[in-house]
Amino acid sequence: MNNQQNNLQPENIPQGYYPQQGQDISNQIPPSYAANINNVKQLIDQEIDKAVPKELSRWFGSIQYRPKRMKFATQNVGEKIYILVRMHWIRNLGWIMNNIFYANIPFVILLILQLLKTDIQFLSLRLFVILLLAYYSIIFTNIIRQFYDWYYDVYIVTNERILDYTFSPFRGYEVTEAPLASIEDVEERSLGLLADLFNYGTIKARTASNAGELSFDYIADPTRVRDIIMDLAKIIKMYRYGD
């Protein structure tokens, strides 16, 4: 039993033993290690479990650790989502306040007209209602668009890679991703006093993949997310390359 555990240590695992994303290496694994591949994956999962907090959702869903019932289109078999993070909710206050302002404009105009005793009898009630409904439908559509843009524009960290989903309600979405093993450095950028007060910021992951640099903008809990990404990358590299 001790010999088997020793064979599963990172320094005893051959280079390239941990498979690349979606790669079938069943014919490449040395026979002496083929029976232990599941054990190696279990060791990796155990190490990752130590690095990621238990299930937690904070700041109105701005960040979720170990989210349940969460899937994405290109998720691989056995791939686990450890972090799902969005732009911090406070970044929504701008468009929320703008839409509140726009929603009150008709009432302000009516109040001014009454104070000026302006005659608006030329405007029939039916036409007035139609214009009002059209105006508020535009505001409502804008609110829905802004909310969907925030809610579905997410950054995902799994046990295999990091992903940046850029969502547009009317144009679909774009996905940029990089394997954890390709991450070279993760930088955190402070965004000022307000960001420090509400604990949000931007992190940039420099990778050796075609993705180049991935930027997680205005995310909640940036320090912890940065540390977890670095820890996961080290774990994957340790078991894959014996670093």
* pLDDT over threshold 80, residue 32: no
* Residue 95 pLDDT: 93
Instruction: Among 29-38, 182-191, 219-228, name the one with the lowest average pLDDT.
Output: 29-38
* Residue 122 pLDDT: 67
What one-character DSSP code corresponds to residue 122? Answer: T
* Residue 37 pLDDT: 59
CA distance 243 to 230: 14
CA distance 240 to 179: 12
* Residue 58 pLDDT: 66
Do 69 and 35 belong together in one domain? yes
Q: Which long-range contacts (CB under 8 A, 24 or more apart) does 62-71 make?
A: 62/86, 62/87, 62/88, 62/89, 62/200, 62/219, 62/220, 63/219, 63/220, 63/221, 63/225
Do 177 and 201 belong together in one domain? yes
Once rounded to an integer, what is the mean pLDDT over residues 218-223? Answer: 90
- When pLDDT is cut at 50, 70 and 90, the band that residue 213 belongs to is confident
Do 42 and 159 belong together in one domain? yes
Count of domains forming the chain: 2
Mean of all residue pLDDT scores within the chain: 79
Do 186 and 224 belong together in one domain? yes
Do 76 and 166 belong together in one domain? yes
Do 9 and 39 belong together in one domain? yes
The model carries a pTM of 0.73
* Residue 60 pLDDT: 66
* Residue 5 pLDDT: 43
- When pLDDT is cut at 50, 70 and 90, the band that residue 7 belongs to is very low
Do 63 and 102 belong together in one domain? no
Host domain of residue 116: 92-148
Once rounded to an integer, what is the mean pLDDT over residues 196-212? Answer: 87
* More reliable by pLDDT, 33 or 153: 153
Rounded to a whole number of angstroms, the distance between the first and last alpha carbons of the chain is: 25
H-assigned helices in the chain = 2-7, 31-34, 37-51, 93-115, 125-152, 193-198, 222-241
Do 11 and 79 belong together in one domain? yes
- When pLDDT is cut at 50, 70 and 90, the band that residue 36 belongs to is low
Q: Which of 148, 175, 191 is the last residue of a domain?
A: 148
Do 128 and 11 belong together in one domain? no
Quick one: tokens of 11? 């320094």
* More reliable by pLDDT, 37 or 11: 37
Do 67 and 102 belong together in one domain? no
Q: Which residues pair with 236 in a beta bridge?
A: none
161-168: strand order across its sheet: 56-58, 63-65, 81-86, 154-158, 161-168, 172-179
pLDDT tens digits, 45-96: 777 777 777 777 765 678 888 888 788 888 888 888 989 999 998 889 999 9
Handedness of CA 99, 100, 101, 106 (dihedral sign): positive
